[in-house]
Amino acid sequence: MDPFTRAGLWRIAVACGATDEDVSTGDPAAFLVSRWLQAPVDDWFNDLYLFQDLLGERSIRSTCWSTSWLGLEDTGPLPFIRFAGFIEAGIRFGYLDLVGFAARDELRVALERWNLGDCARRGVTGLAVSLRRRLQAGAQSLSEPRDAVGVAAFESYMRLDESVRRDLDLREFLTVCHSERPHAKTDAIFLAKPEFFAEAVATRRVRRLPVGGQVAGGLLAVRALERLSRLLGGLGQREHLRNTLILHALWAHQVDKVFDRIQQWVLRAQEWSSDEGEWSDYLVGTVVPLVDLQRDLGLLDSDWHPAQLVNPTIFVDPEGTSPTEVENAISNKSKQADYAASQGYANEALNLYAEAGRLWAEHLNYEIIDEKAKNSMYRYWFLIKQIRNLGDKDTAAALCAVAYPELQKLTASELHHEREIVEELMESLRRPRSSERFDKALGVAATSDPGTIQQPSITPPRVRVVGATSSSGSATAKGNN
């Protein structure tokens, strides 16, 4: 065995938990045999059939990640899978040459002892299976051409993998991303204000509420994934090597779950300030390449696309005021709001629904004269109901008042069972209230006079259009100027 491989084997052993004392024993083959290759398989977790069941179950349910499955844990077969993956990757990158490795038969037997399956099982055991085949094939498969670039890339990857493994905050963040526990409510605590976010980063608390290391861990995850993406990008046309690293980085699998959560942070932070940081660069340089690579390998959990959430048109008014442009903007905001609501971000969802409602009230307050106008009114009514269902009756009532006559017609002719809701909302305007969202969305000065029905300052325009897209010029009237 060449000296580089000998030292490289020790380096991998250290990455998998070997200590300085272990290293001082001198012979990596003897150490590996005693540590992993001849270890008894006698406890319940090490039961290979149970292991197989776990993998099978989780694969079928598309939830192969749980709190115990980042691939970095020191329990059960995971260290061995990680170790075997390093060996296989090390050979592919030219870091190791196993031709002279004294314990290769023991390694093969150990790999055969585990029922790893014949397929990649969503990448969990893929490299270990490859190593088993390689060892079974014999000496001609135990080395591959070696060059400095490949060796350097493998060392970079090991360094990154180790840093992820060592950092408990980062692991905590990833674990929660992959768990089935909803994190939106916890995240909402430190995302409420920028000072809370800073406090959580620095102290792991928000006021007296512990939030753990997830916030700092999330930022570290962002950096780790950026490093991984750069590393993969640096491999250029070496697709085989790129795929090897993706398969080994179990902690980065189903990265859609991680990016989805991070995007929620970005979305929330955009309410603090219009400065969105370097998110768009990060999207292009890290998110999109990693998601695409994992999608190609079937490692994503969903058909997730970052553009769904970060669509710049969502956060600005439509470029023009033609019905089509406004309808598109409303549609975008509504989708965004639906998504935010489904993730538990009620406040963000309310703001977005209210924004969509404001756009409609200002630009598209059609008189119902045809099907298109009626459909538009349906969408507006849906927005109002969503806002009401999320608990902001004041804003819902204000939007209702803007188009009250038309909503009366709608509920009289078709939505009979919802007429009560319209009336209930109008009735609610008679009582005192104050809603910031209401004011912001409609520009209405709240009054505390309980005796009067508050009339929004928007004077509902009455725009007659024959089809919402046919007459952009006639639909530009704004009621509140």
Partner 1 sequence: MRERESEQDVLQSAPSPRAVPVEDVEALLAHLPAWRLSWANDGGWMTRGEALLSATSGANAAVVFVHGWGGDAGGTWEDFQGNFRVLSEARTTDALFWGYPSRTPTVAFCAAKFREFLADLLDAPAPSILNPSLPPGAPPRDDGFRYSQITLCAHSMGAVIARRAMIDLEREGKLGDPRPIIRLLLFAPAHKGSNLPLMLASGFGLERLLPATLVGNFLRLYFRSLNDLAVGSDTLRRLEEDCRALRVSLENKGEDVGHLEALVLHAENDHVVEQEPFDDDPPFTAVMKQNHRSICKPDDSYREPLEVLRKLL
**48 and 210 Cβ atoms separated by less than 8 Å:** no
- Segment 89-108, which members bind partner 1 (CB under 8 A)? 91-92, 94-95
284 binds partner 1 (CB under 8 A): no
Interface with partner 1 includes 146 (CB under 8 A)? yes
Least Cβ distance, residue 60 to partner 1 (angstroms): 13
CB of 398 to partner 1, least distance (A): 30
Residue 341 C-beta: closest distance to partner 1, Å = 22
Q: Which of 111, 116, 124, 129 binds partner 1 (CB under 8 A)?
A: 129
Closest to partner 1 by CB, 199 vs 394, is 199
Nearest distance, CB of residue 159 and partner 1, angstroms: 5
Query: In this complex, which beta carbon is closest to partner 1, that of residue 123 or of residue 357?
Result: 123
Based on the shown chain and the rule CB under 8 A, indicate whether residue 10 belongs to the binding site for partner 1.
Answer: yes
Measured CA to CA, the distance from residue 193 to residue 269 in angstroms comes to 8
Q: Which is nearer to partner 1, 181 or 223 (CB)?
A: 223
- Looking at 141-149, 361-369, 425-433, 451-459, which segment touches partner 1 (CB under 8 A)? 141-149
Give me the least distance between CB of 39 and partner 1, in Å please. Answer: 22
Residues whose CB falls within 8 Å of the CB of residue 357, separated by 6 or more in sequence, listed in order: 380, 383, 384, 387, 395, 399, 441
Nearer to partner 1 (CB atom), residue 69 or residue 282: 282
- Closest to partner 1 by CB, 273 or 481: 273
Interaction of residue 8 with partner 1, rule CB under 8 A: yes
User: Footprint of partner 1 on residues 192-231 (CB under 8 A)?
Assistant: 194-195, 197-199, 201-203, 216, 219-220, 222-223, 226-227, 230-231
Q: Indicate the residue among 237 and 452 with the shorter CB distance to partner 1.
A: 237
Are 253 and 81 contacting, i.e. CB atoms less than 8 angstroms apart?
A: no
**SS3 assignment for the chain:** CCHHHHHHHHHHHHHCCCCHHHHCCCCHHHHHHHHHHCCCCCCHHHCHHHHHHHHHHHHHCCCCCCCCCCCCCCCCCHHHHHHHHHHHHHHHCCCCCHHHCCCHHHHHHHHHHCCCCCCCCCCCCHHHHHHHHHHHHCHHHCCCCCCHHHHHHHHHHHHHHHHHHHCHHHHHHHHHHHCCCCCHHHHHHHHCCHHHHHHHHHHCEECCEECCCHHHHHHHHHHHHHHHHHHHHHCCCCHHHHHHHHHHCHHHCCHHHHHHHHHHHHHHHCCCCCCCCCHHHHHHHHHHHHHHHHHHCCCCCCCCCHHHCCCHHHHCCCCCCCHHHHHHHHHHHHHHHHHHHHCCCHHHHHHHHHHHHHHHHHHCCECCCCHHHHHHHHHHHHHHHHHHHCCCHHHHHHHHHHCHHHHHHHHHHCCHHHHHHHHHHHHHCCCCCCCHHHHHHHCCCCCCCCCCCCCCCCCCCCECCCCCCCCCHHHCCCCCC
Please tell me the distance from the alpha carbon of residue 134 to that of residue 91, in angstroms, as a whole number: 10
Choice between 85 and 456, CB closer to partner 1: 85
Among 19, 44, 281, 452, binds partner 1 (CB under 8 A): 281
Alpha carbons 206 and 195: distance in angstroms, whole number: 9
> Which residue among 99, 109, 149, 415 contacts partner 1 (CB under 8 A)?
149
Which amino acid is located at 133 in the chain?
R
296 interacts with partner 1 by CB under 8 A: yes
Q: Which one of 102, 297, 415, 446 is in contact with partner 1 (CB under 8 A)?
A: 297
Judged by CB under 8 A, the residue of 50, 119, 139, 369 near partner 1 is: 119
The residue from 49, 138, 148, 417 that contacts partner 1 (CB under 8 A) is 148
Instruction: Select 33 or 377, whichever has its Cβ closest to partner 1.
Output: 33
Taking CB under 8 A as the rule, does residue 56 contact partner 1?
A: no
Does position 127 interact with partner 1 (CB under 8 A)? The reply is: yes
- Separation of alpha carbons 118 and 303, rounded Å: 26
With CB under 8 A as the rule, give the number of residues binding partner 1.
Answer: 88
CA–CA distance, 302 with 293 (Å, rounded to integer): 14
Q: Is residue 2 a contact point for partner 1 (CB under 8 A)?
A: yes
Contacts of partner 1 in 221-280 (CB under 8 A): 222-223, 226-227, 230-231, 233-234, 236-238, 240-241, 243-244, 247, 262, 265-266, 269, 272-279
Residue 23 binds to partner 1 (criterion: CB under 8 A): yes
Closer to partner 1 by CB, 216 or 400: give it. 216
Q: Is residue 134 a contact residue for partner 1 (CB under 8 A)?
A: yes
User: Judged by CB, which is closer to partner 1: 148, or 445?
Assistant: 148
**Binding status of residue 6 toward partner 1 by CB under 8 A:** yes
Among 34, 156, 324, 347, binds partner 1 (CB under 8 A): 156
Least Å distance between CB 203 and partner 1? Answer: 7
Q: Candidates 293-301, 354-362, 377-385, 449-457: pick the segment binding partner 1 (CB under 8 A).
A: 293-301
- Contact criterion met (CB below 8 Å) for 383 and 357: yes
Q: Does position 298 bind partner 1 by CB under 8 A?
A: yes
Nearest partner of 410 among 374, 376, 460, judged by Cα: 374
